[in-house]
Amino acid sequence: MGIYGKTLNVDLTEKRYVFSPVQDRILETTIGGRGFNVAYLFDRISGQIDPLGQDNCLLFSCGLLTGTAAPASSRLHINAVSPLTGLLGSSNIGGQAGAWLRSCGLQSIIVRGRSDNPVYLYIEEDCAEIRDARFLKGLDTFETQKKIKDVLGNRHLTSLVIGPAGENLARFACIISGRDHAAGRTGMGAVMGSKNLKAIVMAKGGKRKLFIKKSQARDAVRQYIKKIKVSPDFKTFAQYGGAGYVKWADDMGIMATRNYQGNRFHQVDSIDGRRLEAFKLKSSGCYNCPVQCKAVLSFKQKEDPEQTATRPEFEPMLNIGAKCGLDDLETIVYLDNLCSKLGIDSTSAATAMAFAMDLYDRGILTQNDTHGLDLTWGNAQAMKTLISQMAFAEGFGALLSKGVRQAARVIGKGSDQYAAHVKGLELSAYHPGSIMGTALGYAISSRGGDYNNVYASLEYRWSKDQASHSFGSSEAVDIHATRGKGELIRRAVLVNIVLDSLGLCKVPVLSMIGTFDLKSEAELASALTGFTVTADALFKVGDRIAGMERCFNLRLLPDMDQDTLPAMFMDQPGSNLNQETLQAMISEYYTAMGWDENGNPDPDLLKGTGE
C-alpha cells in the first residue's frame, strides 16, 4: 500500500464509493495534501463550472506527514472550485480529523456528484458507508457532532461537519471539527452543502507506522520539538495562543480598524487577548502538537449557559473586534463561537459586517436598506443578528452572505470603493497599506485576499542581514518598504505550499522556528518516511504546485484581472502603497517565480504532475 494509504472516491449521485491505492511516486510531484488536491483538480477540471453544481469535486487530503509522529502534523487540506471567488478554493483544518483519517488507512477523500437527500459519510479502517443524514438537517455544528455520537453510541469519533450556513449555501460557509477547528476560507462548507453532505464521520483506526528504524525517527522528532520549544515565541503561543498578539499588531500599526479606515485601534487594551488568561479553564490543541495553543474559557455562552467558550485565534480577535469597531472582549469571544456554531467563516463574516457598517456610517446604507438594523460601529446586537442572518440566508444578512464583492454589485452607489476583497475573497486582519509584503501577498495569493495562504512572517521576523543574504535587499524586511518583496513573497508562497502538502501546522513552523528554508522539514520527512527528501526537492515541487494553481485559476477565469488590490488602499497618507509601487512589487514577484511579464508560468514546469 506504500506510505500514503488509499484514496476513497465517493459518487454521491450514484451512492457509490471505491478505494484505490495512492502511488508513492506522487512524493516527487505533489508531496500530498494541498499538492495532491491541486494536481487532481488541474487534471480533471478543464474550464468554468458551477461551483455549487454536481461537476465540482471536493477533496480532503492528508499531507505526507499527517498523523505520523511528526510534531504538529495534524493538518488536512481541502480544495474545490470556490463558490465565493469562482477560482481555486483552498482551506486547511487541524484538530484530530486528519490524523484519524490517516489512521483509517486513507490519504484522501474525493467527493463528486450530489445526493438527492442529506447524507453523511461514515469511515472506519478499510470500510466506508454513505448513510442517511435527514436526522441531522438544520442542526448547528455543535449539535450535529453531539447527535452523531449519541445516535451511533460511540464517543470515540471525530467528524467534519457543516452547519446552517453550509446547508443554506452561504458563499463563505466553513467546515468545523470539534468546537474550535475550522476549514474557514473560500466556502468549502457551501460546496459540502451543495452536495447534500452534512458530515464526514471517522472512527479511529490503527496507529500510523514509522518506516525506518524507530531510533532514527525518534531522534528527528525530538530535535524538531526542541527547535519549536526554544523559539522566542513558544511561551507566548503556548500560554495565550494567537489571541496574545492583538496588542503587538496595534503597536506595529498593521491592525485593520473600522473596515481598514485606520491601522490602530484606540480601544486596543479592551480587546487584548492576553486578558483572556484569567478565564482559561484548560489548554487544548491539535494532534501531536507541543504548543497546544487553544484554550477552553469559563465565559458562558449567553444563550447556552451550560456551555463554556473556546478562545478565539488572532484573526477573529482583530476581525470581529477592531475591524468592526467592537471593543468588548467577552462579546468578541461570543461572536467567534457563534460563527463556529453556525458554520460560517469568521474572517469573511466580520469583513462583510465591517463593509456594511462602513456604508452605514457614510450614509450609503440606511435602516430601510438593512431591514431596520442599526449598523453603527461596534453594535454587538446587530452583529449577532447579521451572523445569524448570513447563516440562515435571511434579511440583510442574506445579501452579505454572498460576499462583499457581490453585495457591492447589488448595493451600488459607489459601495465597491469600500469592499475589501481580492479575487472575491475578503481580506484578513492585517492592513495592506501598512505592511508591504502582506499587501503583495494579498494581491497574488491563489485563493484571494488572505494572509494565511502566504504567511510571510519572515518580513517582520528576519534581520536585515538575513534579508540581504537571501533576497539581495535589506529592505525586504522593512514592512514599509516596497523593494525586495518579490523574492521574499516567493519564498513565503513556496514554503506555505510545501507545509500544506506535508500536513504541518504553520504556527510552530513559521511563527516559531521561522527559518523558511525547509531544511528541518526535509530532515523530518526523510526520517519518518525512509525516502531521501531534500529541501531543494521540496522547493522544486512547491514551484510546480504554485504554477498549477496559477494556471488553474487562469483556466477558470481567463479574462479576470488576476492580481491587484482595491483602490481604497492606494495613495493613503503615511503609506507607500500606490498603483505604481504595487505593480512594481507584482512584476518583481513574477520575475522571482520565473513567470512571464503577465504572470504566466512556463508550461514545461507543470509536466508530470498527475497521480
pLDDT tens digit sequence for 353-364: 999 999 999 999
For 185, list phi and psi in degrees, rounded to 5: -95, 155
In this structure, what C-alpha cell is assigned to residue 135? 436526522
Query: CB under 8 Å to 24, separation ≥6 — which residues?
Result: 2, 3, 4
- What pLDDT does residue 174 have? 98
Task: Report yes or no on 530 lying in a domain.
Answer: yes
Is residue 65 within 8 Å of residue 221, measured between CB atoms? no
For 188, list phi and psi in degrees, rounded to 5: -65, -25
For residue 1, name the pLDDT band (cuts at 50, 70, 90).
very low
Query: CB under 8 Å to 257, separation ≥6 — which residues?
Result: 263, 264, 265, 322, 323, 325, 431
- What pLDDT does residue 303 have? 58
Rounded-to-integer distance, Cα 82 and Cα 190, Å? 9
Domain boundary among 188, 203, 218: 203
Lowest mean pLDDT among 60-64, 172-176, 300-304, 494-498: 300-304
**Could you tell me which of 242, 317, 177 has the C-alpha nearest to residue 508?**
242
Task: Report yes or no on 548 lying in a domain.
Answer: yes
159 lies in the same domain as 289: no
67 lies in the same domain as 120: yes
Is residue 522 within 8 Å of residue 531, measured between CB atoms? no
235 lies in the same domain as 272: yes
Is residue 507 within 8 Å of residue 72, measured between CB atoms? yes
Rounded-to-integer distance, Cα 103 and Cα 125, Å? 7
556 lies in the same domain as 415: no
Task: Report yes or no on 225 lying in a domain.
Answer: no
Strands (E), 12-135: 16-21, 58-62, 76-81, 88-93, 106-112, 119-124, 127-132
- What pLDDT does residue 136 have? 98
- What pLDDT does residue 607 have? 62
Is residue 400 within 8 Å of residue 386, measured between CB atoms? yes
Task: Report yes or no on 427 lying in a domain.
Answer: no
Mean per-residue pLDDT, 11-17: 97
Is residue 261 within 8 Å of residue 268, measured between CB atoms? no
By DSSP bridging, strand 119-124 and strand 197-203 are parallel
**Could you tell me which of 375, 408, 387 has the C-alpha nearest to residue 334?**
387
Task: Report yes or no on 97 lying in a domain.
Answer: yes
Give yes or no for residue 251 having a pLDDT over 50: yes
Give yes or no for residue 549 having a pLDDT over 70: yes
441 lies in the same domain as 489: yes
Task: Report yes or no on 507 lying in a domain.
Answer: yes
For 543, list phi and psi in degrees, rounded to 5: -60, -45
Rounded-to-integer distance, Cα 418 and Cα 260, Å? 9
Number of domains present in the structure of the chain = 3
Give yes or no for residue 546 having a pLDDT over 80: yes
Q: Which helix H or strand E contains 465, and what residues bound it?
A: helix 464-471
Give yes or no for residue 300 having a pLDDT over 80: no
508 lies in the same domain as 557: yes
Long-range (24+ apart) CB contacts under 8 A made by 17-22 are 17/128, 17/130, 19/126, 19/128, 22/107, 22/108, 22/611
Percent of the chain with pLDDT over 90: 90
The CATH number that applies at residue 72 is 3.60.9.10
- What pLDDT does residue 304 have? 61
Which residue range forms the structural domain that includes residue 590?
436-606
pLDDT digits (tens, 9 = 90+) for 445-460: 999 999 999 999 999 9
331 lies in the same domain as 455: no
DSSP state, residue 129: E
- What pLDDT does residue 231 have? 97
Give yes or no for residue 212 having a pLDDT over 60: no
pLDDT digits (tens, 9 = 90+) for 434-447: 999 999 999 999 99
For residue 299, name the pLDDT band (cuts at 50, 70, 90).
confident
Mean per-residue pLDDT, 339-359: 98
- In angstroms, the Cα distances linking 227 to 74, 108, 231, 233, 238 are 18, 30, 6, 11, 14
Helix boundaries (H) for 294-394: 314-320, 329-342, 346-362, 380-392
Sheet holding 119-124, edge to edge: 127-132, 119-124, 197-203, 157-161, 175-177, 181-183
Task: Report yes or no on 429 lying in a domain.
Answer: no
Specify the length of the chain in residues. Answer: 611
**Helix/strand/coil percentages in the chain, nearest 5:** 45, 15, 40
Give yes or no for residue 611 having a pLDDT over 80: no
The CATH number that applies at residue 573 is 1.10.599.10
Task: Report yes or no on 226 lying in a domain.
Answer: no
415 lies in the same domain as 442: no
- In angstroms, the Cα distances linking 328 to 264, 301, 308, 339 are 16, 15, 18, 17
402 lies in the same domain as 459: no
- In angstroms, the Cα distances linking 240 to 272, 281, 313, 520 are 10, 12, 9, 26
**Could you tell me which of 8, 97, 81, 68 has the C-alpha nearest to residue 41?**
81
391 lies in the same domain as 318: yes
- In angstroms, the Cα distances linking 601 to 141, 201, 503, 607 are 41, 39, 26, 12
- In angstroms, the Cα distances linking 388 to 170, 248, 383, 400, 472 are 11, 31, 9, 11, 49
Strands (E), 362-441: 421-422, 425-426
pLDDT digits (tens, 9 = 90+) for 552-585: 999 998 876 789 999 999 999 999 999 999 999 9
Give yes or no for residue 210 having a pLDDT over 60: no
Mean per-residue pLDDT, 133-139: 98
Give yes or no for residue 301 having a pLDDT over 80: no
Rounded-to-integer distance, Cα 107 and Cα 36, Å? 10
- What pLDDT does residue 610 have? 45
Domain boundary among 154, 184, 203: 203
115 lies in the same domain as 57: yes
Percent of the chain with pLDDT over 70: 96
194 lies in the same domain as 286: no
Rounded-to-integer distance, Cα 40 and Cα 10, Å? 14
**Could you tell me which of 219, 317, 209, 231 has the C-alpha nearest to residue 507?**
231
pLDDT digits (tens, 9 = 90+) for 457-516: 999 999 999 999 999 999 999 999 999 999 999 999 999 999 999 999 999 999 999 999
For residue 306, name the pLDDT band (cuts at 50, 70, 90).
low
Give yes or no for residue 213 having a pLDDT over 60: no
CB atoms within 10 A of CB 13: 12
